[in-house]
Structure 1
Amino acid sequence: MEIRDRTPDDLAACVKALAEVQSSDRYPVDWPGDPAGWLTPGGLIRAWIAVEEAAVLGHVALTRDMEVTRLFVTPAARGRGLAARLLDTVRAAVDTPLKLEVSSEGKAAIAFYERSGWRRVGSSRARWLNTAGEPALVHHYVSPPAGPGSTGRL
């Protein structure tokens, strides 16, 4: 398994992996009309994928405002530390604190971020709807301080 930069040629495999995640976890809550476009948000600086034998197992992206987004690992690949490795890859690429948002419905994601040292700094209502059809409650997090050995490059 390797983590590498995502290329345009990877988008079809990323959409396939996202479909597996959406079917299992309802992430994203509503399937986007243009899933490849959803994986390429405005302000995208860089995206990485975890791949094994040409299959995309995970994905993460970074936007210009230093927000980690579109992080997911396929159900079959969970339990292997891929989400942590993807986040570590992003953190190693920059020398500034990162931020991310997670829906309050994402209990496993919240537990993972908090175990990983991310700190909740607030919450707000999103413009999109949660599974109950209400504006989603979104928690805002900042990354833990960079540790020794951080390369801090982008």
Structure 2
Amino acid sequence: MNIRPRTPGDLAACVEALAKVQAADRYPVDWPDDPGGWLTPDDLTEAWVAVEAGAVLGHVGLTGDAEVTRLFVTPAVRGRGLAARLLDTVRAAAGTPLKLEVSSEGGAAIAFYERSGWRRVGSTRADWLNAAGEPALLHHYVSP
């Protein structure tokens, strides 16, 4: 498994991997009209992909204000430490404490972050709706 900076040529494979994640986990909750654009928010400064045998199996981004974003690992390769390696890549590149937010519906993600030493520092309501049609509850974390 190789983790490397994402290139423009990776975007279609990233969208394909994201579709597998969305089918399994509803992440993102609603499939975006422009999934490539969703993976490339305006404040994105860097992004990385995990690639094996030419397939994108994981993705993570970093925003200008040191926030981890668009982190996902395809269901078929979970349990191999890939999410931790992606986070380590971001942490090494940022060289500063990181933050992230996760929906309260992301139980597995929350458990992973907390096992990894991330600390919840607050919660807010999002401007988008969760699966129940209510404003999503977002938990805010800082890196260890």
Pick the TM interval, shorter chain.
over 0.9
Question: Root-mean-square deviation (CA), in Å?
Answer: 0.4
Amino acid at match of 2:51: V
Partner of 2:91 in structure 1?
A: 91
Large movers: runs of 4+ above 2 Å: none
Structure 1 residues 65-100: Cα deviation after superposition (integer angstroms, max 9, x where no partner): 110000000000111100000000000112211000
Partner of 1:50 in structure 2?
A: 50
Partner of 1:149 in structure 2?
A: none
Cα distance in 1 for partners of 2:111, 2:51 equals 25
Partner of 1:23 in structure 2?
A: 23
Structure 1 residues 89-123: Cα deviation after superposition (integer angstroms, max 9, x where no partner): 00011221100000000000000000001000000
- Unaligned segments of structure 2, at least 5 residues: none
My pick for the range that moved more, 68-77 or 89-98, is: 89-98
Matched, 1:80 2:104: no
Cα distance in 2 for partners of 1:57, 1:77 equals 7
Cα distance in 2 for partners of 1:102, 1:135 equals 13
Q: CA deviation at 1:43?
A: 1.1
SS of residue paired to 1:19: helix
- Unaligned segments of structure 1, at least 5 residues: 145-154
SS of residue paired to 1:86: helix
Partner of 1:110 in structure 2?
A: 110
Identical aligned residues as a percent:
81
Cα distance in 1 for partners of 2:94, 2:33 equals 31
Cα distance in 1 for partners of 2:54, 2:95 equals 31
Amino acid at match of 1:140: H
SS of residue paired to 1:137: strand
- In the superposition, the TM-score normalised over structure 2's length comes to 0.99
Amino acid at match of 2:100: L
Amino acid at match of 2:84: A
Cα distance in 2 for partners of 1:125, 1:68 equals 18
Instruction: Give the number of aligned pairs.
Output: 144
SS of residue paired to 1:79: coil
Amino acid at match of 1:41: P
